[in-house]
A = this chain, B = another copy of it.
C-alpha cells in the first residue's frame, strides 16, 4: 500500500490565479471562552471589550470580541491555503473592521487572489490576497489585503502576467465605518478622562509597561486562532531553520503591544481600520515587548466620536520612552519588532 497523499502540501506561487477565491477551513464559533482566553493571553483591558455594561454604554451590542482578536481568527484560517509555503509575510493594507463579533457568532474566511508578481530570481513570487471574514449570517465583519512572498513549486515554471494591485496607504476617514455613538461614555470606569481633543498630531506616548512572552503563551494564543503555521509550534523542526527555534506569530506581538497601549490610550479601545503593518524583526520566547505610540492624524467622525490614526511601535528589551524607530536612512532599528498603523475610535469632548 502506497503512502497517502491526503495531507495538505499547501499552495505554491504557481497555484495562485488572480480572480480566484479560496474558501478556507475551519469555520469557528467564537464564545465567551475565547474572550476570556484572549484577555488572559494579551492583558487586554479596554473597557468596552471587558465589560458587557460598558460595551452597551459605548455603543456596542454587548461584550464583543476585540477586533484584533477577530483579525487573528480570520488570518489563522488563511494560513494552510496562503502561507504554508511562504518565505515572508510582507505587509497588510486596507484592513477594515466592519461589524462587531459577538459571542456565538461563527467566523468563516475566504481570500481572493488580487495580484501576483514573480521575483527576478525566478524561485519565488509575491501574491496579494484580499481576505474577508464573514459571520454565520454572511455579513462581512472584517476585510484586509495581505501580501506574501511564496516559493515556486518549480523554478522552471513560466512567470505569470504581473498584476500589482493599487492599495491605499491608509483607509480614508470617509471610509471608516462601524464606529458607535459615544455620547454616554462611562469615563469614571475607563481608566482615563482623555478624549479626542486631548491628543495632538505628533504626540508620542510611552506605554511604559513591558511583557515577556513564554513559549506556552504564544502557542496557546496561536492555536486559539487556529493558526497552524509550523514555525510557531515545532521546536524540533525549527532546529534546522535560520533562527534555530520557534518564531512567535506576529499577531501575538500586535495584540500584546496594543494591550500595553492601554496605558495612555485608555479610551481608544475600538480599532476601526488597519492601514499597514510590518513585522520588522522576529520575537522569540523570553523576549520582553514594550510599546510606544504616535498620533499620525485625527479625524472627526460624528458629534460624539473621533478617530485617531496611530502608529504603534513594539520594541524588544528596550525602553519605550526612548521612542526607538528608524535611522536617518529610514531603516528600522534592530530592536523594533512591529510597525503598525491603524485607526481607533475615541469619544469627543462634550
Contacts and interface: CB of A to CB of B under 8 A. Distances in A.
A226 B4 contact: no
Interface string A101-136: 001101010000000000000000000000000001
A36 B39 contact: no
Contact of A50 (B27, B54, B207, B210): B27
Contacts of A204: 1, 3-4
Contact of A210 (B7, B42, B47, B230): B230
Contact of A212 (B25, B104, B215, B228): B215
A47 B27 contact: yes
A235 B33 contact: no
A140 interface: no
Interface in A131-173: 136
A40 interface: yes
The bracket for how many chain A residues form the interface is 35 or more
B50 A26 contact: yes
A224 B1 contact: no
A46 interface: yes
A104 B198 CA distance: 34
A3 B205 CA distance: 6
Interface in A175-220: 188-192, 194, 198, 200-212, 214-217, 219-220
Given A29-B51, A51-B26, A203-B1, A220 B223 contact: no
A91 interface: no
Contact of A209 (B31, B39, B233): B233
A3 B39 contact: no
A217 B209 CA distance: 19
A31 B29 contact: no
Contacts of A45: 25-26, 226, 228
B235 A40 contact: no
Contact of A192 (B6, B28, B198, B212): B6
A264 B4 CA distance: 8
A23 B265 CA distance: 18
A176 to B, nearest CB: 23
A333 interface: no
A25 B47 contact: yes
Interface in A1-53: 1-4, 6-8, 23, 25-29, 31-37, 39-43, 45-47, 50-53
Contacts of A216: 214-217, 220
Contacts of A215: 212, 214, 216
Interface of A: 1-4, 6-8, 23, 25-29, 31-37, 39-43, 45-47, 50-54, 63, 80, 103-104, 106, 108, 136, 188-192, 194, 198, 200-212, 214-217, 219-221, 223-224, 226, 228, 230, 233-237, 246, 263-266, 286-288, 317, 321, 323
The 8 closest A-B pairs by CB, nearest first: A33-B36, A25-B191, A1-B202, A236-B288, A216-B216, A33-B33, A210-B234, A27-B51
